[in-house]
Amino acid sequence: MTTSGPSGQQAPEKLPPPAPTAVERANRMSAANMIRSLLPLVVICLLAVGWVTFRQSGTDPVRPIDPTNSVRLATERASYPVEVPSGLPDGYRPTSARTDAPDAAEGAPVTLEIGYVTPSDEYAGFLITDDADAEPLTSVLDGAQDDGSVDLGGRTWTRLTSERGETVLTREDGDVTTLVTGSADDDELQTVAAAVAPVSQPS
């Protein structure tokens, strides 16, 4: 609808804004594409900053556990003297422990495993069992190559290299096999093996 001005003449109708030119449309699309392409980079940067802040905050992601209960169950059920690493230096922290003792029948084989984070933040796993077919044992020993022996804690341990390329320290006493292996270096694995001793029985 149009209106008349004071002189009775009709006011000119407002013309619609001119359509954007091809150059303007291209510029707008380029800007939008640039924003969309930068979003993943921004997210990655934010995550990286958050991770660095977390590492610098001093928060330790390792959650040590107390293996005492698993050791006690294995000791009560096993038909052999259970041994575990004892008196390890600072920096060796147990982070996992499990045993099949609760499900073992009287006189049946018993396996005990304890996992440690070492001072270099690597893994050292300890295992003792009188079950030659225990999966945690065979999964390490199958395909392992003999690499000599080493005396630790007054005992001779056989040194192997597993199929994963990790050092394996193992010792047999009758039907009982004790084993230490993991991603930790030889010195740290030998420290764990040298600390293996019989579990102290409560008086």
Whether 9 is in a domain gets the answer no
Task: Answer yes or no: is 181 within a domain.
Answer: yes
Asked if 99 and 144 sit in the same domain, the reply is yes
Is 149 found in the same domain as 86? yes
Please report which confidence band the pLDDT of residue 90 belongs to, taking 50, 70 and 90 as the band edges. very high
What number is the average pLDDT over the span 159-185?
98
* Domain membership flag for residue 3: no
Mean pLDDT of 48-66: 70
Considering the domain architecture, whether residues 114 and 194 belong to the same structural domain is answered as yes
- Give which of 92, 175, 72, 66 is closest to 129, Cα–Cα: 175
Domain span including residue 45: 19-59
In 107-117, which positions are buried (b, 16+ CB within 10 angstroms) versus exposed (e)? eebbbbbbbbb
For residues 100 and 191, membership in a common domain is answered with yes
11 falls within a domain? no
Is residue 158 situated within a structural domain?
A: yes
b/e 46-70 (16+ beta carbons within 10 angstroms → b): eeeeeeeeeeeeeeeeeeeeebeeb
User: Among the three residues 9, 42, 59, which one is the final residue of a domain in this structure?
Assistant: 59
pLDDT of residue 2: 47
- Identify whether residues 35 and 76 lie together within a single domain: no
Q: Are residues 50 and 76 in the same domain?
A: no
The CATH number for 136's domain is 3.30.200.100
% of the chain at pLDDT higher than 90: 64
Same domain, 28 and 113: no
44 and 96 part of one domain: no
The reply to whether 101 and 152 lie within a common domain is yes
Count of domains observed in the chain? 2
The residue ranking higher by pLDDT, 159 or 48, is 159
The reply to whether 86 and 182 lie within a common domain is: yes
Q: Could you report the per-residue pLDDT of 9-34, keeping only the tens digit for each?
A: 555 566 666 666 655 655 565 666 66
Q: pLDDT tens digits for 98-129?
A: 999 999 888 899 999 999 999 999 999 999 99
Question: What pLDDT does residue 122 have?
Answer: 97
- Contact between residue 77 and residue 110 where contact means Cβ atoms under 8 Å apart: yes
Tell me: pLDDT of 146 over 80.
Answer: yes
Question: Do the domain assignments include residue 192?
Answer: yes
Let me know if residue 111 belongs to a domain. yes
